[in-house]
Structure 1
Amino acid sequence: MATFPDFQNELHYPDFDGLPFEYCQDTRYYSENGVPTTHWCFLSEIQTNVPFFPNQFYVKDKNGSEYLVAFHLKDRARYPAVGVKCKDGHTMCIMYPQKHLFLDGQLGVRVENERTVKILPCSLNELFNIRDKVKNNIGLCNLCGGIATLKCSRCKMFYCNKTCQVADWKSIHKTECNVVQQIVKWGVLDWDHFDGAELFGT
């Protein structure tokens, strides 16, 4: 039976306040030996790049609170590529983040592994709406709502015919498809059992 990510789950998809604090052994996420026991992902919407710092971004969590996300990568040459991906209004997904207190007193998230981050080309609200579409993907056309058996080869959303599929691809699905694929991947992950880090591709 298909499952779907529950973005309201405060353990697996916490807002910033719900994140574990760096250097603290939060028993919600770690065993007594400091080993992760569950998966979690911080979802936020990119607001803007910090002026003069191409590796830093202000984001808003799902409760509308704003925080700093700063990339500190060993390969600093990667910062331009990170900046290109991090567009205002898009959703930043960070696996296993912790609250970090920066030297200037700001609270935020420090990212040292680029593979823990994925940028989805949609706002947070659009992500939640697309998740509902995936949940309701039960044989009805993604464009017109008619009875459908044809599926997108990438994300398996339904279409009643090629005409609807092509029209939807041109209007929205070209962007939406990548988001749907990520939602499906989250849906098959056993969030309550950590058996290795779930990272994103580069």
Structure 2
Amino acid sequence: MATATTTGPTGSRTLYTLNLDDTMAFPDNSNIPAHPPAPDERWLIITELISDPAPRPGGHGFMVKDKIGDRFPVIFSTPTAARDVRPYKVGRLICLANGSMTDFHQKLGYFVQDKSTAFMIPCTIATLRLLSVRLRAQSDAGEFGQCCSVCKTRSDLRRCRCRTRYCGTECQRRDWNNGHSKECRAIEALIVWNRTEWW
């Protein structure tokens, strides 16, 4: 196992400190903890789907790649597996909470036995990284959680589910039409993760 990066300080409403390369909070296949988490520990394995869902031995699943490009299967073995995998499509992320690898059929991968431990974000790993860099730049400029995302004026209004701030309807509409509609759920996840104490 490679040496893991130590988790840094937790972010806040106005400070973005999240590091997606932190291998303790967001492990890749080289850094997956061997044991289930202790009560005060948590991690998230971020993977990108490279095949659509299909019946597989043990349930329904797909092939994914992690943030370093390792490829492996993720199999849902829930009672409603065929229905549970429907939202997952190629190019979207599946995030596995506190996952541990399983050896099955001469291949390492992940079994999802509780669908609440996996969730989808509609973007790629590359897009998630770009959004994280953008939020860090806003934080460094003193704008994160304090200024309108479009015109950069101070604003106390949170007009979006991802907590992005806008000074009013016009700026929100402009941002939504310029791509925020496709980024909103990913930004929401990044902001929640920024304020999570992983270890």
TM-score bracket for this pair, using the shorter chain length:
0.7 to 0.9
**In 2, are the aligned partners of 1:15 and 1:62 still within 8 Å (CA)?**
yes
After the TM superposition, which residues 1-202 of structure 1 pair with which residues of structure 2 at under 5 Å, given as runs? 2=12, 3-21=16-34, 25=35, 35-49=38-52, 51-53=54-56, 55-73=60-78, 75=79, 78-102=80-104, 104-135=105-136, 136=138, 138=143, 139-143=146-150, 146-149=152-155, 150-192=157-199
2-structure distance, mates of 1:185, 1:19: 22
Whole-Å Cα distance in 1 between the matches of residues 97 and 197 of structure 2? 14
With over 3 angstroms needed to count, the CA separation of the structure-2 counterparts of 1:152 and 1:38, relative to structure 1, is same
The number of residues matched between the two structures is 177
Distance 2:82 2:17 in 1: 34
Q: 2: distance between equivalents of 1:161 and 1:132?
A: 25
CA contact under 8 A between 1:4 and 1:184: conserved in structure 2?
A: no
Q: Is the 8 A contact 1:7 1:13 kept in 2?
A: yes
Distance of 1:112 and 1:37 partners within structure 2: 22
Q: Cα distance, 1:106 vs. partner?
A: 0.9
Give the superposition deviation at 1:44: 0.7
For 1:105-137, what per-residue CA distance to the aligned partner results, in whole angstroms no more than 9, with x for missing partners?
011111111001110011011111112233316
Distance change in 2, residues 1:9/1:146 (3 Å): same
* Unmatched runs of 5 consecutive residues or more in structure 1: 193-202
Counterpart code for 1:9: D
Query: 1:157, 1:132 → 2: CA distance?
Result: 15
Structure 1 residue 141: Cα displacement: 4.2
> What is the Cα-based RMSD across aligned positions, in Å?
2.3
What CA distance in whole angstroms lies between the structure 1 residues aligned with 2:127 and 2:65? 14
- Structure 1 contact 4–186 (Cα < 8 Å) conserved: no
